[in-house]
Amino acid sequence: MGVIKIIGGKVINRGVYTCADVIIKDGKIISVGSQNVHIPDDATIIDASGKWVSAGFIDLHTHGAGGGDFMDGTLDAYEKALTMHAKHGTTLLYPTTLSSTTESLHQSVEQYKKAKSANIVGAAMGGLHLEGPYFAYDYRGAQDERYLRNPLREEYDAIIKASKGDIARWSLAPELDGAAEMATTLRNEGILMAMGHTGATFEECQRAFDAGFTHLTHFYSCMSTITRRNAYRYAGVIEYGYFNDDVTIEIIGDGIHVPQSLLNLVYKIKGAERIALITDSMRAAGMPDGNYMLGSLEQGQEVVVEDGVAKLLDRSAFAGSVATMDRVVRTVQQLTERPMPEIVRSATETPARIMGIADKKGAVEVGYDADIVVFDDEVNIQSTIVNGQIVYNI
């Protein structure tokens, strides 16, 4: 892979920054700030003077980009999405499904395996994120109601078996019949369990947490808050997310799904170390406004993107986002006015820790994987490096 030296940058690491050079060799970071490292004459030099240098952005929740959706069932769709996300600073992502038929979920698992071995030049993949189909109908958002159902053991057991370890996380509504039994299976398989598209009460959330649910899918979006039943008030998922310090959350940081006031509130209460910024992007990310398919071209549903916002055709709900991670970091930093290193932590270190890979990803430290992004104060990407390979450079 050769040697890469990044010079003159402001290196962000674990919420703070220092001015230092970074040296990469054979896919690993071998030096941060040291002056006693030999650099061969043929080393690649990246001038980051006046710019930020951080670990590459990690997107825990994305359905696609660049015109491709991960449920299209083609390598072309994967290539479009991975290339587009890398262009915008993402070095690792988790391809995400939508509620669909059992057959489509099996096809998604098989296509992921093919893409994993295809040597696509772009963002790397950390495993599949299955979003659904076990969701609450009243909190479905843009999830296609045709495919919503309760967990069926024979169904999810078969999918897990077919995946052979490629499923990294599964989002579902924990209050559904069969969800508790499914939680036992997921926990035994080491799959991250996330509450999503759920109308659970505070008490149901506590039982879910005790069963192994430790993460909340797109916080504020498609989840319950305080409700009244027979005049009595019941707290919901949002209140539980704030209450439990051991629960991590993810935020769609496009400034649309979660407005400025709520962004400030969630950062004040949860803090960057418990917040992962995500795109929840669909195929229109990085593309112009127009009509697109959410989900696969064959079985998805048509949505409209107008003024940079994806919506169902009846405008009753958002339909994912068209954000990329550079836009997410930029938007959240500007709206919260918090220091750049703090916001970058939510796009690097925190998601790495959530996914159990913080020993090799999410930090700019010696021995870590050389996933690096260089960008300016407006989060315009200059360079993206994935596993020591420059995949984007202006």
- CB count, 10 Å around CB of 358? 16
Helix (H) or strand (E) holding 204, with range, is helix 202-211
Which of 382, 324, 313, 256 is closest to 65 using CA atoms?
324
pLDDT band at 230 (very low <50, low <70, confident <90, very high): very high
pLDDT band at 90 (very low <50, low <70, confident <90, very high): very high
- CB count, 10 Å around CB of 302? 12
Give me the chain's average pLDDT, please.
96
pLDDT band at 298 (very low <50, low <70, confident <90, very high): confident
Residue 1 has pLDDT above 80, yes or no: no
End-to-end C-alpha distance for the chain, whole angstroms: 19
Residue 239: strand, helix, or coil: helix
Within 13 Å of residue 86, how many CA atoms lie on the same side as its CB? 25
pLDDT at residue 318, rounded to an integer: 92
Mean pLDDT of the 50-74 span: 97
- Can you give the pTM of this predicted structure? 0.97
Read off the pLDDT of residues 4-51 as tens digits, 9 standing for 90 and up. Answer: 999 999 999 999 999 999 999 999 999 999 878 888 889 999 999 999
% of the chain beyond a pLDDT of 90: 94
Residue 385: strand, helix, or coil: strand
What interhelical angle do 202-211 and 179-189 show, nearest 10?
30
Residue 272 has pLDDT above 80, yes or no: yes
Looking at CATH, the fold of the domain delimited by 57-361 is given as TIM Barrel (3.20.20)
What interhelical angle do 325-336 and 260-269 show, nearest 10?
80
Rounded to the nearest 10 degrees, how much is the dihedral formed by the CA atoms of 267, 135, 255, 363? 50
pLDDT band at 377 (very low <50, low <70, confident <90, very high): very high
pLDDT at residue 169, rounded to an integer: 98
Rounded to the nearest 10 degrees, how much is the dihedral formed by the CA atoms of 285, 290, 295, 301? 160
Read off the pLDDT of residues 103-147 as tens digits, 9 standing for 90 and up. Answer: 999 999 999 999 999 999 999 999 999 999 999 999 999 999 999
Per CATH, 3-53+377-393 and 57-361 having the same topology is answered: no
Mean pLDDT of the 163-175 span: 98
Report the relative pairing of strands 52-55 and 3-13 from DSSP bridges: parallel
Report the relative pairing of strands 381-386 and 389-393 from DSSP bridges: antiparallel
Report the relative pairing of strands 64-65 and 3-13 from DSSP bridges: unpaired
Mean pLDDT of the 293-307 span: 90
Mean pLDDT of the 175-191 span: 97
Tell me if 365 sits within 8 A of 23, measured CB to CB.
Answer: no
Mean pLDDT of the 159-179 span: 98
Say how far residue 132 (Cα) sits from the centre of its chain. Answer: 16
Residue 172 has pLDDT above 90, yes or no: yes
Superfamily of domain 3-53+377-393 in CATH is Urease, subunit C, domain 1 (2.30.40.10)
Residue 322: strand, helix, or coil: coil
Q: Domain limits of the chain?
A: 3-53+377-393, 57-361
How far, in Å, CA of 253 to CA of 264, rounded? 12
- For the four alpha carbons of 359, 361, 366 and 370, in that order, the dihedral sign comes to positive
pLDDT at residue 37, rounded to an integer: 84
How far, in Å, CA of 55 to CA of 341, rounded? 11
SS3 helix, strand, coil % of the chain, rounded to 5? 30, 30, 40
pLDDT at residue 300, rounded to an integer: 87
Residue 264: strand, helix, or coil: helix
Read off the pLDDT of residues 326-364 as tens digits, 9 standing for 90 and up. Answer: 999 999 999 999 999 999 999 999 999 999 999 999 999
Which of 345, 328, 348, 340 is closest to 376 using CA atoms?
340
Mean pLDDT of the 358-378 span: 98
